[in-house]
Copies of this chain bind each other. A is one copy, B any other.
Amino acid sequence: MKKITGNKFTDLQHLLSIDEMDITLINDIFKSADKFLKNNQIIDKYKILQGKTVCNLFFENSTRTQTTFEIAAKRLSADVINLDIATSSQSKGESILDLINNLIAMGVNIFVVRHSMPGIPEQIARNIKNKAHIINAGDGNKEHPTQALLDAYTIKCYKKRFGDLKVAIVGDIEHSRVAKSEIYILNKLGVQEVRVIGPEPLMPSNISELNVRAFSNMNDGLKDVDAILMLRIQKERMSKDTIPSEKEYFKAYGLNEERLKFAKNDCIVLHPGPINRGVEIDTLVADGRQSVILEQVKNGIGIRMAVMEKMTN
């Protein structure tokens, strides 16, 4: 299958996956985000996307993520269309591709697409009739590239170099698109060791190909790490899958202050949000001195601005 992201060098036609991304481009996006986040704040408004239209197409609801793209696009002076898919012509039986081709004809330049089926953003990118940019904002359990970019960027802000770092990802690795994208980007950035921690039944079957070290015991996995990437537990999985109960999960894999001591003293704690306090993370850790969760959110605006800027260079 031909790779179509066009991510060689520094131009960015689509952002579909971290897996296919060039390290040069990743560093380029980080540099651009630095510019928007100077003095650690996003204050200015830019004319970079003036006259451009960004369309949020969330086939799976996520007000949080949608809002980050809306804010990022408006800071660049884009017009933003939030399409309410539930009431759109989707319900009239129109295909996604017809919908998107129509929106391109209306003048939409960038689509932010979330879908519960893996690969939909790529399929769209391959089949649209005219030129437009597709950003994958999460496709099934496959990838969530902007989340991984902002996570890695946040680590970089605190740790400067990646080469010496041990980083642990904790939770339901198998079903998490965030985990996949994080594994890809951390390896591309050359961290010393990527660890994944979680119950064995929630480890992906292709774990051996991912260049990670797997742990089912949390204390072992956290030993001497520099950063912990917690995953949000999907409560809806609790019943049907191998996760016994919130309480038992927290007991085995919840991050509390005691457990955090296994990691390095200056280890930082990340979480993609929204957090489930007392389920995968203790309140004292979520609000504690090592938590950089709100930094991630702020960096997420800068990273998304950087991605959209790269697309319209």
Does chain B have a CB within 8 A of A273?
yes
Instruction: Name the B residues within 8 Å of A104 (CB-CB).
Output: 294
Shortest 4 CB-CB contacts between residues of A and residues of B: A63-B88, A105-B297, A94-B274, A45-B51
Bound form: Cα–Cα A50–B45 in Å: 8
Interface flags, A248-280, vs B, CB<8A=1, else 0: 000000000000000000000000011111000
Bound form: Cα–Cα A71–B52 in Å: 10
Closest residue of chain B to A51 (Cβ to Cβ) is B45
Identical chains bound together, number: 3
Q: Which of A50, A61, A92, A130 has the most CB of B within 10 A?
A: A92
CB under 8 Å from chain B, chain A span 54-112: 61-64, 67-68, 70-71, 74-75, 79, 81, 83-84, 87-89, 92-95, 98-99, 101-108
Instruction: Name the B residues within 8 Å of A48 (CB-CB).
Output: none
Which of B88, B129, B235 touches A294 (beta carbons < 8 Å)?
A: B129
User: Are B53 and A43 closer than 8 Å at their CB atoms?
Assistant: no
Closest residue of chain B to A287 (Cβ to Cβ) is B129
Bound form: Cα–Cα A98–B297 in Å: 12
Nearest chain B CB to A174 CB, angstrom units: 20
Bound form: Cα–Cα A208–B103 in Å: 38
Does chain B have a CB within 8 A of A301?
yes
User: Are B274 and A89 closer than 8 Å at their CB atoms?
Assistant: yes
User: Are B298 and A105 closer than 8 Å at their CB atoms?
Assistant: yes
Q: Which of A74, A83, A93, A107 has the most CB of B within 10 A?
A: A107
Interface flags, A124-137, vs B, CB<8A=1, else 0: 00000110000000
Interface flags, A225-255, vs B, CB<8A=1, else 0: 0000000000100000000000000000000
Instruction: Name the B residues within 8 Å of A108 (CB-CB).
Output: 71
Instruction: Name the B residues within 8 Å of A221 (CB-CB).
Output: none
| Between-chain CB contacts (< 8 Å), 26 pairs | A42-B107, A43-B51, A53-B71, A61-B87, A62-B89, A63-B83, A63-B87, A63-B88, A64-B88, A64-B89, A64-B102, A67-B81, A67-B83, A70-B81, A71-B81, A89-B274, A93-B274, A94-B274, A98-B275, A102-B294, A105-B294, A105-B295, A105-B297, A106-B301, A107-B298, A130-B294
